[in-house]
Amino acid sequence: MPSDSLQRFHFRDSPVRGELCQLTQSYREVLARHDYPLPVQVLLGQAMAAVALMASMLKLEGSLILQIQGDGPLSLLVAESNERGELRAIARYDHEAVIAGDEWTALTGQGQLVLTIDPDEGQRYQGIVPLEGGSLAAALGHYFQQSEQLPTEFFLFADSQAAGGLMLQVLPGHDDGDDPDLWPRSVNLAGTLRAEEVLALSIEEVLYRLYHEESIELFSAHPLAFKCTCSRARSENALRSIDMDELRAIVREQGGFIEVDCQFCHQRYRFDSVDVEQLAHDALTGTDSLQ
């Protein structure tokens, strides 16, 4: 069984690069926390593979967040990865409206794809494009064409047990290369990939099957893993955005405490009346968090 990892590669003496990733345990940890129907599982796995591929290009410490927002049975999907390859994901959907075998357009309907770069320091950057094409891979290719002006192709796969993907990208200077047919050739060969190859074979075997006639350099594997970024401190910050009188009323109604439930991992953070009053004190004194 392939491990959760990502590997970069490039075509020697050419400005065409690629990345391959495979997710097993991290994907299963996401699925174990929610009872998703298979069509939602598949799209969630594809999204996790996509953010892992894209986040590896971040030249800063922070996260890349992919959101799919639509008016179909799947109203929202969020997948997130940071530069360390730590992943999490969640989906919201109408269970009764999701049909087994639903395709991309039937699941999402009309909507938009949002990519957010959220650095640990500095300002967020967000790009938004309409959902276009017959798959998430096609929508992401459209995004890069519109916002980055770099030809980029995605090939994304998932089933109920594993997920994975391949990304190919042309870097500036391709037109000056010695092999102008390399880009269309590499994309056409990638189009022959089957899900069972990406999800079951090693990355080295997948690359050999695709590009054994090309000169490829493969870099070291980068591990991927599920990790939720929720914390008690973040829950405190969320509670601070609520009026204190309302918080006190909730505490009384719920028997003396408030629970904040992370939608991604279902971790629960409990705050009793003393904790809530401490939040009020922090707000008055300007303290950002409890010490």
Residue 7 identity (one-letter amino acid): Q
pLDDT score at 228 = 78
pLDDT score at 175 = 56
Is the predicted pLDDT of residue 106 greater than 80, yes or no?
yes
Is the predicted pLDDT of residue 242 greater than 80, yes or no?
no
Angle between helices 273-285 and 232-240 (to 10 degrees): 70
- CA dist 132 and 118 (Å) reads 24
Compute φ and ψ for 43, nearest 5 degrees: -65, -35
Residue 201 identity (one-letter amino acid): L
Q: What is the mean pLDDT of residues 24-37?
A: 93
Q: Which of 91-105, 132-146, 203-217, 228-242 has the lowest mean pLDDT?
A: 228-242
Is the predicted pLDDT of residue 246 greater than 70, yes or no?
yes
Q: What is the mean pLDDT of residues 150-159?
A: 94
| Domain assignments of the chain as residue spans, ordered by start | 5-226, 232-285
pLDDT score at 78 = 95
Which one has a higher pLDDT value, 139 or 238? 139
Is the predicted pLDDT of residue 1 greater than 70, yes or no?
no
Task: Give the up-direction half-sphere exposure of residue 88: CA atoms within 13 A in the CB hemisphere.
Answer: 12
- Which letter does DSSP use for residue 221 in this model? P
**Mean of the per-residue pLDDT values for the chain?**
86
pLDDT score at 148 = 67
User: Token pair 């967000």 is at which residue?
Assistant: 126
Write down the CATH number for the domain with range 232-285.
3.90.1280.10
Residue among 212, 198, 277, 242 at smallest CA distance from 7:
198
CATH 3.60.90.10 fits 5-226, yes or no: no
Q: Are 242 and 258 in contact (CB under 8 A)?
A: no
- CA dist 92 and 214 (Å) reads 42
Which one has a higher pLDDT value, 95 or 195? 195
3 state DSSP class of 84: coil
- As given in the structure block, the two tokens for residue 47 are 């999204």
Secondary structure tally for the chain: helices H, strands E: 10, 14
Q: Are 143 and 129 in contact (CB under 8 A)?
A: yes
Strand partners of residue 65: 80, 116
Q: Are 154 and 172 in contact (CB under 8 A)?
A: no
The b-or-e profile of 180-201 (16+ CB within 10 A means b, else e) is: eebbebbbeebeebebeebbbb
3 state DSSP class of 43: helix
Is the predicted pLDDT of residue 284 greater than 60, yes or no?
no
Task: Count Cβ atoms below 10 Å from residue 44 Cβ, excluding itself.
Answer: 25
pLDDT score at 286 = 47
pLDDT score at 174 = 53
For 55-88, the pLDDT digits (tens) are 988 877 889 999 999 999 999 999 999 989 999 9
pLDDT score at 44 = 96
